[in-house]
Amino acid sequence: MHTTYLRDLFNLHRSKIIFGILALFMTVQEVKSQGIGYRRRHLEYYDDKPIHYGILFAVPFTRFNIKHSNEFVAKDSAFVIQSPTNAAFRMGFVVNAYLTEHFDIRTTPSVSLYDRNVKFSYPNGTEKTERRESTWIEVPILLKYKSLRRVNSRMYMIAGMTLGIETNVKRSRGGGTGRLDTKSNDLSIDYGVGYEQFFEYFKFSPELRFSHGIANVFQPTKNSLGRGISRMSTHTVTLYLNFE
């Protein structure tokens, strides 16, 4: 009887020690998690304002989508007509208007410096490149869907349309000069995704946007250079850096 009693005391004591160690461990972990998990909420009342303004810098990667005409095989001396992708530069402003908890209306009027090319390859091994260095003013109208804010970050998606107008167009471009000509206005469908990070004094939003031109920017001319082309539309993938 005496031995059994000592064994019971030992088992009880060991259980208390294990329970105490577990309780201490859970308490330490809770304190650590509270210390690490707390993050200051920057610009806490940001969404209470109806309109926000900002600036943007962007790097577009752009080219022409080319559709061949019926005369491409029969009459055009070129056997390949393509448009390589070139990098460009864009800067502008951000105007964002609050609609609901999840939706905003947004526009990013900007100035873009493009260098789009059309490359003609001929059977004898020669090549000819038509360069289109141009400056465009672009005004998109976008609908923005944003997720719930998690402390200082949230995701969003955008979709809409962009009207583009080329500036400083040369009057002698294309026509009878033996060069390819394009129109000076464009309309595109835009969509993309972005990430918002709130800091103490501003919000930083990197964004990836895709633009597909729906207008035919090819300008028919009297020369034979564009004989194998029936349609040209713009295609652009842009990385935005937005500061609001």
* 9 Cβ neighbours under 8 A, 6+ residues apart: none
Query: Tens digit of pLDDT for each residue in 65-117?
Result: 999 888 777 766 777 889 999 999 999 999 999 999 999 999 999 999 999 99
* Residue pair 203/194 in contact by the 8 Å Cβ criterion: no
* 216 Cβ neighbours under 8 A, 6+ residues apart: 183, 231, 232, 233
Highest mean pLDDT: which of 67-81, 97-111, 156-170, 210-224?
97-111
- Structure letter (DSSP) for residue 48: G
pLDDT of residue 225: 76
Alpha-carbon dihedral of residues 244, 162, 69, 177, nearest 10 degrees? -80
Query: Whole-structure pTM over 0.85, yes or no?
Result: no
- Domain 46-243 top-level CATH class: mainly beta
* Residue pair 128/119 in contact by the 8 Å Cβ criterion: yes
Would you say residue 9 has pLDDT above 60? no
Residue ranges per structural domain of the chain: 1-38, 46-243
Q: Is the torsion defined by CA of 200, 92, 47, 190 positive or negative? A: negative
* 144 Cβ neighbours under 8 A, 6+ residues apart: 96, 103, 104, 105, 106, 156, 157, 158
